[in-house]
Amino acid sequence: MFFSKFFKKPAKKTLGLALGSGGAKGMAHIGALKAFEENGIEFDVVAGASIGSIVGAFYCNIYRADEILHLLETVNFKEITNMFMVKMDTVGLEDVINRYIGDLTFDELKKPFACTATDYRTGEEVDLKSGSVAKALCASSSYPPFFKPVSIDGRLLVDGAFSNAVPADLVRGMGADFVVGIDLSAVKSDKKSFIGEWLAKMPFEYGNTSEKGYKNSDIMLKPPLSQYSAASFAGLHDMYEIGYETALGEMPAIRAAINALYEGKKKKEKLNGAEKAKK
């Protein structure tokens, strides 16, 4: 009785996942999720930017990696991209998201989830944690010049990659004891290209916004995707495999870090129990 009172089983660790932006390269996120599933690692809180927000929302709605892969494989990305370029709108994107997320609010997801967007006028990071999930995902994924900014609470919002590409700090703020980040690449564009020229007209300056993610992650995965672009829809399966192999390769380090966290908590709780016993 004495020991059961003061030497309780350590509380479960809260594992967090930060999924970075990257367009079509988001398939690597799904491959990584598959590797985590096979190794019995389940994340409790998730945040994402751009495609990372979409994959993260599906995950938090209890879609498994295979299911998310199947959903994205059924989407005609080329057709959707062409439609967006003509309409310059996110209505089509919201329709696609609604097909699988519906009219869910953040509170209705099965796991805590948040995503980042960027204030189009100021470049300020905007963290989205409430209201319509579909609308938030549209804002987080609204990459100029293909999509118009999305209006939420009186602010015009664009892609989260411009302010926080791998929102590990957001995950940490949601209560995660241990954070894994996945960086697919920073926002880059040839200044002489159409997109580069358009982005140069943005009302705010932007650069590599992944750095904050590295500072706030316990482990950061960076799948080798330099040969792919955000629009490499023909290489979706290859990028999935790269994400899978990258996560699998880091699994020993991830497991060791989680075990160390557990041991640290256990020792701390034993010390606290001993102090109480003395009293």
* Beta-carbon count within 10 A of 8 CB: 12
pLDDT band at residue 232, thresholds of 50, 70 and 90? Answer: confident
Question: In this prediction, what percent of the chain has a pLDDT beyond 90?
Answer: 55
More confident residue, 37 or 268: 37
pTM above 0.75, yes or no: yes
Closest alpha carbon to 112 in 166, 158, 64, 48: 48
pLDDT band at residue 95, thresholds of 50, 70 and 90? Answer: confident
More confident residue, 75 or 253: 253
Dihedral angle over CA of 212, 112, 50, 32, nearest 10: 80
pLDDT at position 21: 93
Which residues are registered as beta bridge partners of 150?
A: 157
Q: What is the mean pLDDT of residues 179-196?
A: 64
pLDDT at position 241: 97
Label residue 120 exposed, middle or buried (CB < 10 Å: 0-12, 13-18, 19+).
Answer: buried
Whole-angstrom distance, CA of residue 125 vs CA of residue 49: 11
Taking phi over 0 as left and psi of -120 to 50 as alpha, with beta for the rest, 185 belongs to left
* Beta-carbon count within 10 A of 141 CB: 30
Give the three-class secondary structure for 50: coil
- Look at residue 183 and tell me whether its pLDDT is greater than 70: yes
Q: What is the mean pLDDT of residues 25-47?
A: 96
pLDDT band at residue 196, thresholds of 50, 70 and 90? Answer: very low
Residue ranges of domains in the chain, CATH in brackets: 14-249 (3.40.1090.10)
Label residue 1 exposed, middle or buried (CB < 10 Å: 0-12, 13-18, 19+).
Answer: exposed
pLDDT at position 51: 92
